[in-house]
Structures are given as C-alpha cells and as structure tokens.
C-alpha cells in the first residue's frame, strides 16, 4: 500500500515569490524523506501541494505513477499531520482516530478493532474516551499519528510534528517516530527546520532554499560535502566556516571537526567560549575578520589567540558552488544560483 512520490517541474508562486521553483524529485517507496530548510521558505507548501490543499501553478505530482495534481484531497489517500495536530476539538480521542474511516463509510463494527489496534501500538488506549483538551501535548501528537496510521494511506505527510513538544519529550518522540516508520514500512515525507531531526530520521534529506532543492542526499553526505556554500552554512549544528582562498578565487569551507587546534598557519581570537557537555564550543574571529567555530576540550580565555590548521577543506567558487561538485538535483532555471 505504500507509494512512490514524483514531482515533475512543480512550480508555485505567492505574489511575486516563487515558493516552489520548477522542482523535480522522487521519493521512493518506504523511504523516510526529510525536507529541511529555513522557516517560511516553502517547505509546508510542498506538503500541502502533495496533500491537495494548495493548488499547483505548473508541473505534475504523481503518487505511484498516478497523476494526482488535480485530484481533490479527500480522494488522494494521503495522511497528514499538522504542526498543531489539528485534532477535532468537539470529538473524543476515539472519534478523532475513527474519523478518516468514517469518511470512507466504514461501519462501526469495522472501525472499532482498527482504532483499538492503532491505539495499542501508540500506547494511547487509556485516553480513548477523553476529549482533546484533556490530554497532554505528547499525547495529542500520538493521537494525530494514530489518526494518520489507521487509514493505511499510501504516503504520510508530516509538517513539523515535533516542534510543539517540549525539548525533553522531543528526543523520545523522534526515536519512536523512526521506529513506527520502520515497522510500517511506509513512505514518510517529513518537513522540519531542525537539523537533528533531519539527521536522525531521514533516509534522504532534501535541503530547500528559496523554492529549490539545493541538495538531495543522505544527511551525512550533505554534511560532509555540501554542494553549495549556502548548504554548508545552513546544515549542521555549527555552520561551515569559510575563509577566503589564498589565490583569491572563492573560499575554503571547513567543518569544525576538520580543525586541528594547536599549531598551524591560521590564527583566531576567541570571542565566546561555552561549555556544552564535555566539549567547549568556541566562536572566534579569524583571518580576514571571518568568524570561525571550533570545539576544544578545555576552555581558553576570551581574547586568547588560538592557532589551527585544516585537516581537509572544500573549495567553493565565488558564485557559491562547490568546485568539482558534480550536479544538483534540479537543473538551473532562470532563478537558480547558477549551480551546474
């Protein structure tokens, strides 16, 4: 029952902003695909177009090969979990979960075992009779998930479903979500602006910027080898560091892990030092006034100068693209940044 998703040259404009700019990509069956990007740049819109609640300006969306672009949302057999869960306030938890089945005109006898089954899987059997406002945020999230799972959709769409949870709860919820997806074997499309979520959950991640995918691939690949300066800067707990290249042609980019502190041709002045767990994070001012993020085991004094060298680095051209970087997921359109 799980499906493949294809985007063919999909575009959408809001006013004079392209929130989707000639996007083409594919999500395979059973894949956990994360759309990662800054807030407000069109991630949710992509999801809404797949669900059918946002009309498409150009292009085609296919689910399992079937063109659904003009299909009404209630006929698409996708499930969606919104950021605020959108639970029906005047219904009990049971009725919320049963709702999609009711829409398909299942009888009460058919609905009951399905709902109980899902409730058991998610551990919410005890709250089935409660009303939505009587349960906690974490429980609400599970109810929203249960409602999505119960109808065996072909694709799951999740719009930042973890961002409303307390930080502590989030970690457990994340792990649980991954496990559920593995057990179900379903195609999950997950939108977030949070790096950690992308890293821990995704099979592949697509980094969305200004309506285009700057890069699609396994998270660690994107992290280690960003195809554009922007991706390097955006992805990762720390942004990539950049120094002007010696011959003046573009920049050198390097991750904090590629810095060896001690001796070396480069030096920087410590501005901020913060202990986080068992490492100290440093923000330093380096050559050409660039900021450099590093980590160290001991805490240097503010104002101290550190020397370092680079174990490896990537060379970025002046226009931001990675040199000898290969090709990007979407071919350049008039509005792209010219990456080949």
Residues near other proteins (CB under 8 A) are 6-9, 22, 24-26, 28, 48, 51-60, 69-70, 72-74, 76, 78-80, 82-84, 86, 88-90, 99-100, 103-104, 147, 151, 157, 213, 216-217, 327, 329-331
Using CA atoms, how far apart are residues 158 and 169, in angstroms rounded to an integer?
18
By beta-carbon proximity to other proteins, the closer residue of 123 and 331 is 331
**274 contact partners, CB below 8 Å, separation of at least 6:** 280, 281, 282
Listed in sequence order, the DSSP H helices in 104-188 are 108-122, 137-149, 167-184
Residue 97 C-beta: closest distance to other proteins, Å: 10
Residue 239 C-beta: closest distance to other proteins, Å: 24
By beta-carbon proximity to other proteins, the closer residue of 76 and 193 is 76
Residue 275 C-beta: closest distance to other proteins, Å: 39
By beta-carbon proximity to other proteins, the closer residue of 39 and 312 is 39
Residue 25 C-beta: closest distance to other proteins, Å: 5
Strand partners, 280: 275, 296
Residue 158 C-beta: closest distance to other proteins, Å: 12
Using CA atoms, how far apart are residues 255 and 241, in angstroms rounded to an integer?
6
Residue 36 C-beta: closest distance to other proteins, Å: 16
CA trace torsion 57, 62, 67, 68 (10° rounding)? -70
Q: Which residue from 121, 112, 74 is spatially nearest to 94, judged by alpha carbons?
A: 112
CA trace torsion 192, 49, 9, 75 (10° rounding)? 130
By beta-carbon proximity to other proteins, the closer residue of 60 and 267 is 60
By beta-carbon proximity to other proteins, the closer residue of 73 and 300 is 73
Strand 187-192 relative to strand 32-36: parallel, antiparallel, unpaired? parallel
Residue whose pair of structure tokens reads 């001991």 in the numeric block: 298
By beta-carbon proximity to other proteins, the closer residue of 157 and 198 is 157
Using CA atoms, how far apart are residues 191 and 37, in angstroms rounded to an integer?
8
């Amino acid at each position: 029952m799980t499906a493949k998703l294809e985007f063919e040259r999909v575009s959408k404009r809001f006013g004079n902003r392209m929130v989707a700019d000639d996007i083409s990509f594919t999500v395979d069956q059973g894949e956990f695909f994360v759309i990662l990007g800054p807030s407000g740049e069109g991630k949710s819109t992509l999801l809404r177009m797949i669900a059918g609640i946002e009309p498409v300006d150009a292009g085609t969306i296919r689910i399992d090969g079937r063109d659904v672009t003009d299909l009404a949302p209630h006929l698409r057999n996708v499930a969606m979990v919104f950021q605020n869960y959108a639970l029906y306030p005047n219904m009990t938890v049971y009725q919320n979960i049963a709702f999609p089945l009711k829409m398909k005109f299942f009888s009460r006898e058919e609905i009951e075992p399905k709902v109980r089954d899902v409730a058991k899987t998610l551990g919410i059997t005890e709250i089935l009779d409660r009303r939505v406002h009587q349960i906690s945020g974490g429980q609400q999230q599970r109810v929203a998930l249960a409602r999505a799972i119960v109808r065996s959709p072909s694709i799951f769409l999740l719009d930042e479903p973890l961002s409303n949870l307390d930080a502590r709860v989030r970690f457990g919820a994340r792990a649980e979500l991954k496990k559920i997806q593995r057990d179900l074997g379903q195609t999950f499309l997950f939108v977030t602006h949070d790096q950690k979520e992308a890293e821990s959950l995704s099979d592949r991640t697509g980094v969305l910027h200004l309506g285009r995918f700057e890069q699609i691939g396994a998270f660690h690949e994107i992290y280690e080898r960003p195809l554009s300066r922007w991706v390097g800067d955006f992805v990762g707990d720390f942004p990539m560091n950049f120094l002007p290249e010696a011959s003046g042609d573009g920049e050198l980019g390097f991750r904090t892990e590629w810095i060896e502190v001690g001796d070396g041709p480069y030096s920087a002045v410590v501005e901020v030092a913060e202990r986080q767990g068992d490492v100290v994070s440093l923000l330093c001012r380096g050559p050409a006034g660039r900021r450099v993020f590093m980590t160290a085991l001991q805490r240097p004094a503010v104002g101290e100068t550190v020397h370092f060298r680079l174990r490896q680095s990537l060379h970025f051209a002046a226009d931001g693209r990675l040199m000898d970087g290969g090709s990007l997921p979407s071919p350049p359109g008039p509005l792209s940044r010219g990456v080949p």
